[in-house]
């Protein structure tokens, strides 16, 4: 593995650490004072700083160090994380993310912004509280005064982290010369995973020796006979006595990248218990581990003495590996027992671990599984046609194959499923930045962050959500003064939720702002010639005007809005994902945007139907129920419209064959089946088809990629008999039933 690959892994881990940082800071901002939450935030920044230092990313390291120092004050209760403090912390997390991106992509970060935050962080670390922000905050408490300097930190909590009294590049820190030197007893016992991951005990001990005077003893009591040795196991452990200035945290920091692969015990030796080295219960092996450093000016014999104990382990492992090969030939039973024990140990050590896989490999696997499903369906269809009784052994075997294939497909699709949490966390930064630009105080609340959806959907969800969040902050939430005049809390709230419903993911964006001013929206639409001046529109239709191309109620163009580009982009993006979006608004109380999206873009549960001799697939998630029309329930309306009565209500009856131009005249409703569907913006419609063939899961094949866009058709699939079936675009068909032709619907979709 070359350095570029290692660096790429570091940046991937940075993304995870930044997500952890954002999550922890948001919890703290909401009042969470759990020490583990603070420790998790500290660890995230500390890990980023440590990795960045290995690659010489000085700007990132310097900023992370100042950030870490301030977080250390919070951990040691020297700094109260009040609203103004958390505001600085959240901005610092944004800059840290920008520095990571700049280090990865070669860009730059606004130096004035980063240096300004460095000063604010240093001021917080020195007990200087920031001035309250100009915008009022709901139920804002007076900014807490800096607490008196706390005494020395107590022993480590479960997380094993303590404040770090060190300096870096001149940023803050305590005077190391004044630090108290303490004596610690350290037990370091590696596990087998430590060596398999490329760590080296000798190098860890070398780094430990740099903290102060140290004596060490290598314990080899666990070393088995040569016949029983496992070449991949760890049999040695070390007991160490060290006098260190940096305390327990400084010692644990040496092992931070190996702490999960070793047993580490660090105990402070009481002053009265401290004894000269010669009184230790172990036989000390004093040596200068710093000699392992390439830059150390030490004689070769010193180096040899330093590594002698550590190299013993390596030599024994090599001997054991050779012996194990011979032993494997001479004693199969012993080799099998050793392999079983190793497998059991490996199973215990790898529980809950994850691996990173190239997304292209997953996509290829999904495509192959899709072809497997198609071929299984074809084989089943062929056997059914040649076995009228359906009781043959082959037929029953195919049923088991069908169930197994479905389970494989579900498992493969689950590989691509990811929680929406990363996208939701990204929105919190947008809320902060836009709110600062417009002088508003707004809080983002998220729910259902662990709701999973296909990665392709997640990747394409960020853009429409960004537009909606910016729109809600700029247009939806009022200014603090207007909110106070309306009897509301000065701080506005935006709520972002995700949940599964009927095989789809539903995302809601709710704000407690002023709602949609329908009179203003209507007038703007008339001024922009989007509707006629005498048009009679319902409240729902007026609300949906905001999705029209070029529509904007902004009085002036700004960096945020006013150019008429935004909500129409949202609608197009959602429709491109096979989803729909709707809006409900209550003047003075706020608005709710609801997006319904498929969980995956690769497979689909559908109803296979026949229309004018053509086979179509209707997405099952759009179907509410199926009906057998009766003459007394069919009613004419206008020149060529028909309604169907369903439980004392009337629903438009849409002939799918007529809409798609499969036939030139209206079909007889009593000779077909009605599918009651629900579509975006069109309410419920009853789609009339000739017959239902059955329900099945189909593999989605893109028409645009293989042919061209077909109006009224969303995609295609291959059925068990080898025929190509078209997947119906329910929203387009319903929209066409309202008076637009499918070609018009297509052009409207492209334009807006």
* CATH 1.20.120.160 domain locations along the chain: 3-125
How many C-beta neighbours within 10 Å does residue 621 have? 19
- Residue 369, pLDDT score: 79
Q: In the predicted model, what is the mean pLDDT of residues 484-509?
A: 87
Instruction: Tell me the β-bridge partners of 216.
Output: 240
As its CATH architecture, domain 603-751 has Beta Barrel (2.40)
- Residue 1, pLDDT score: 55
Work out the mean pLDDT of the chain and round it to a whole number: 75
How would residue 187 be classed by pLDDT, with cut points 50, 70 and 90?
Answer: very high
Nearest to 451, CA basis, from 499, 484, 492, 496: 499
User: Does the pLDDT at position 678 exceed 90?
Assistant: no
Q: In the predicted model, what is the mean pLDDT of residues 569-580?
A: 79
Instruction: Return the top range by mean pLDDT from 128-132, 724-728, 746-750.
Output: 724-728
End-to-end CA distance of the chain: 48
- Residue 464, pLDDT score: 87
- Residue 26, pLDDT score: 87
- Mind listing the pLDDT tens digit for each residue in 136-163? 444 333 344 334 344 333 333 443 333 3
CA 257 to chain centre: 24
- Residue 519, pLDDT score: 86
User: Does the pLDDT at position 537 exceed 70?
Assistant: yes
Query: Which has the minimum average pLDDT: 137-141, 339-343, 385-389, 454-458?
Result: 137-141
User: Does the pLDDT at position 477 exceed 50?
Assistant: yes
pTM here? 0.55
CATH no. for 3-125: 1.20.120.160
How would residue 605 be classed by pLDDT, with cut points 50, 70 and 90?
Answer: confident
Q: Which residues contact 656 (CB under 8 A, 6 or more apart)?
A: 611, 616, 662, 687, 688, 689, 728, 733
- Mind listing the pLDDT tens digit for each residue in 399-432? 778 778 777 877 777 777 888 888 888 888 888 8
- Residue 742, pLDDT score: 56
* CATH 2.40.50.180 domain locations along the chain: 603-751
- Residue 462, pLDDT score: 84
Nearest to 618, CA basis, from 626, 609, 627: 609
Strands 452-454 and 442-447 turn out to be unpaired
- Mind listing the pLDDT tens digit for each residue in 509-531? 999 988 888 888 888 888 887 78
Q: In the predicted model, what is the mean pLDDT of residues 709-723?
A: 80
CATH no. for 420-598: 3.30.565.10
Q: In the predicted model, what is the mean pLDDT of residues 317-346?
A: 42
Greater confidence (702 vs 280) lies with 702
- Mind listing the pLDDT tens digit for each residue in 482-494? 999 988 898 999 9
- Residue 493, pLDDT score: 92
* CATH 3.30.565.10 domain locations along the chain: 420-598
The full length of the chain comes to: 752
pLDDT above 70 coverage of the chain, percent: 75
Greater confidence (398 vs 645) lies with 645
- Mind listing the pLDDT tens digit for each residue in 220-252? 888 888 888 888 888 888 999 998 877 888 888
- Residue 370, pLDDT score: 76
For the sheet containing 504-511, what is the strand order?
Answer: 442-447, 492-501, 504-511, 590-598, 580-586
User: Does the pLDDT at position 28 exceed 50?
Assistant: yes
Number of H helices, E strands in the chain: 22, 22
Nearest to 516, CA basis, from 542, 534, 486, 483: 542
User: Does the pLDDT at position 381 exceed 50?
Assistant: yes
């Amino acid at each position: 593995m070359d350095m570029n690959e290692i660096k790429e892994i570091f940046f991937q881990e940075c993304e995870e650490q930044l997500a952890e940082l954002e999550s922890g800071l948001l919890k703290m901002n909401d009042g969470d004072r759990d020490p583990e939450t603070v420790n998790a935030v500290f660890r995230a920044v500390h890990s980023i700083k440590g990795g960045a230092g290995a690659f010489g990313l000085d700007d990132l390291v310097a900023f992370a160090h100042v950030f870490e120092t301030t977080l250390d004050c919070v951990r040691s209760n020297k700094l109260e994380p009040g609203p103004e403090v958390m505001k600085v912390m959240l901005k610092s997390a944004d800059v840290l993310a920008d520095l990571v991106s700049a280090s990865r992509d070669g860009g730059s970060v606004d130096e004035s912004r980063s240096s300004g935050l460095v000063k604010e962080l240093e001021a917080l670390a020195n007990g200087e509280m920031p001035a309250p922000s100009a915008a009022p905050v709901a139920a804002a408490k007076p900014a807490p005064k800096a607490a008196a300097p706390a005494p020395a930190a107590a022993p480590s909590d479960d997380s094993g982290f303590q404040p770090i009294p060190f300096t870096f590049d001149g940023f803050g820190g305590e005077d190391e010369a004044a630090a108290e030197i303490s004596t610690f007893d350290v037990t370091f016992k590696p596990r087998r995973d430590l060596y398999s991951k490329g760590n080296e005990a000798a190098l860890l001990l070398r780094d430990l020796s740099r903290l102060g005077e140290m004596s060490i003893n290598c314990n080899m009591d666990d070393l088995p006979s040569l016949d029983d040795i496992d070449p991949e196991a760890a049999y040695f452990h070390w007991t160490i006595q060290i006098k260190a200035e940096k305390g327990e945290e400084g010692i644990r920091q040496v092992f931070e990248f190996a702490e999960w692969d070793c047993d580490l015990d660090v105990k402070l030796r009481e002053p009265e218990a401290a004894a000269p080295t010669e009184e230790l219960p172990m036989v000390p092996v004093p040596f200068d581990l710093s000699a392992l450093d390439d830059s150390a000016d030490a004689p070769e014999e010193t180096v040899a003495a330093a590594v002698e104990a550590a190299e013993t382990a390596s030599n024994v492992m090599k001997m054991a590996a050779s012996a194990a090969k011979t032993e494997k030939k001479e004693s199969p039973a012993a080799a099998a027992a050793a392999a079983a024990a190793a497998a059991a140990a490996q199973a215990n050590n790898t529980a809950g671990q994850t691996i990173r896989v190239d997304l292209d490999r997953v996509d290829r696997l999904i495509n192959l599984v899709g072809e497997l499903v198609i071929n299984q369906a074809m084989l089943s269809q062929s056997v059914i046609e040649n076995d009228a009784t359906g009781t043959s052994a082959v037929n029953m075997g195919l049923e088991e194959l069908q169930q197994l294939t479905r389970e494989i497909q579900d498992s493969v699709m689950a590989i691509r499923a990811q929680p929406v949490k990363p996208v939701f966390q990204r929105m919190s930064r947008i809320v902060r930045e836009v709110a600062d630009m417009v002088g508003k105080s707004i809080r983002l609340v998220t729910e259902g962050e662990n709701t999973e959806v296909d990665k392709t959907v997640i990747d394409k969800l960020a853009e429409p959500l960004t537009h909606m969040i910016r729109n809600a902050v700029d247009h939806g939430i009022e200014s603090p003064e207007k909110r106070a005049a309306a009897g509301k809390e000065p701080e506005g709230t935006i709520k972002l939720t995700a949940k599964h419903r009927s095989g789809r993911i539903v995302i809601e964006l709710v704000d407690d702002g002023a709602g949609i001013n329908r009179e203003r929206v209507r007038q703007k639409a008339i001024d922009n010639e989007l509707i006629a001046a005498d048009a009679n529109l319902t409240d729902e239709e007026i609300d949906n005007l905001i999705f029209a191309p070029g529509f904007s109620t902004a009085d002036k163009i700004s960096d945020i809005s006013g150019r008429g580009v935004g909500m129409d982009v949202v609608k197009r993006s959602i429709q491109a994902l096979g989803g729909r979006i709707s809006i409900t608004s209550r003047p003075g109380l706020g608005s709710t945007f609801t997006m319904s999206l498929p969980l995956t873009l690769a497979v689909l549960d559908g109803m296979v139907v026949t229309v004018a001799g053509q086979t179509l697939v209707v997405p099952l998630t759009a179907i509410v129920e199926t009906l057998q029309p009766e003459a007394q329930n069919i009613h004419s309306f206008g020149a060529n419209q028909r309604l169907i009565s369903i439980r004392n209500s009337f629903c438009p009856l849409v002939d799918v064959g007529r809409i798609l131009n499969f036939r030139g005249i209206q079909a007889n409703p009593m000779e077909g089946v009605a599918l009651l569907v629900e579509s975006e913006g069109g309410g419920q419609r009853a789609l009339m088809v000739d017959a239902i063939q059955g329900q099945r899961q189909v593999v989605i094949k893109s028409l645009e990629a293989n042919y061209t866009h077909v109006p009224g058709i969303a995609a295609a699939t291959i059925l068990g008999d080898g025929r190509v079936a078209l997947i119906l675009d329910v929203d387009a068909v319903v929209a066409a039933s309202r008076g637009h032709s499918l070609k018009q619907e297509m052009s409207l979709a492209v334009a807006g």
